[in-house]
């Protein structure tokens, strides 16, 4: 009460705090602050590290608590040369990963020798009402220094009204010494809630790398 009165006495007539309103003494006397998470804040929910992993699955934490989930993958390194990291969603908690997807994929590329560069639509990597895993990288090399990093956004997966949109942006060390920047967008064509997500290489294992799942706090 004394803190509130002190602050009140230090308000201007326009409702703005005077400099004396908050000082070390008043702050030190506060015993508790309510937990406040601002809208748009990233909340780390899970971290998984690959080690010759056939797949990495997130089967808990995807629910109506958040309207958007962000997956960050860091230095994904596969066991087979020239294959892609891909993902799928589940509506049954991870028992099956076969939700219908429609998507589009394009990328830009530039080689280390500075002899080639291009921006192109990669029609072979998109899906049209398919239950396959969606590629979100280009072909990753298996040299010791080759990997892929990027982000995947999944929007309102718990909606039972709308389809579930996603976008991904990745940077790859391509297996024949290119950098590729890849852009993927699409939707899970279901009004059932997506409650699990799995990542895997389209051939071989994920030898190394980290995948983090964040929830985006509601406003």
The predicted-structure confidence for 174-219, as pLDDT tens digits, reads as follows 888 999 999 999 999 999 999 999 999 999 999 999 999 999 998 7
Q: Best-predicted range by mean pLDDT among 6-10, 13-17, 108-112? A: 108-112
Query: For position 175, what pLDDT does the model report?
Result: 86
Q: 195: burial class by Cβ within 10 Å (0-12, 13-18, 19+)?
A: buried
Is the Cβ–Cβ distance between 50 and 207 less than 8 Å? yes
- Spelled out in words, what is the top-level CATH class assigned to the domain 42-216? mainly beta
| pTM, to two decimals | 0.82
CB count in 10 Å sphere of residue 120: 10
Q: Can you give the residue ranges of every domain in the chain?
A: 1-33, 42-216
- 83 beta partners: 140
């Amino acid at each position: 009460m004394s803190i509130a009165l002190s602050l009140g006495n230090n308000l201007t007539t326009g409702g703005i705090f005077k400099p004396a309103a908050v000082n070390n003494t008043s702050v030190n006397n506060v015993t508790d602050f309510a937990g406040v998470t601002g809208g748009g804040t990233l909340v780390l929910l899970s971290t998984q590290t690959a080690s010759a992993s056939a797949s990495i699955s997130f089967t808990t934490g995807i629910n109506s608590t958040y309207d958007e989930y962000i997956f960050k993958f860091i230095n994904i390194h596969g066991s087979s040369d020239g294959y892609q990291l891909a993902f799928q969603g589940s509506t049954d908690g991870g028992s099956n990963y076969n939700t219908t997807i429609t998507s589009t994929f394009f990328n830009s590329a530039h080689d280390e020798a500075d002899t080639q560069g291009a921006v192109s639509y990669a029609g072979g990597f998109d899906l049209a009402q398919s239950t396959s895993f969606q590629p979100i990288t280009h072909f990753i090399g298996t040299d010791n220094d080759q990997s892929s990093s990027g982000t995947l956004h999944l929007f309102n997966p718990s909606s039972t009204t709308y389809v579930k949109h996603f976008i991904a942006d990745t940077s790859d060390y391509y297996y024949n010494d290119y950098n590729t920047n890849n852009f993927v967008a699409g939707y899970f064509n279901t009004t059932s809630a997506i409650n699990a997500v799995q990542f895997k290489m389209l051939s071989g294992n994920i030898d190394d790398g980290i995948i983090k799942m964040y929830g985006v706090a509601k406003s």
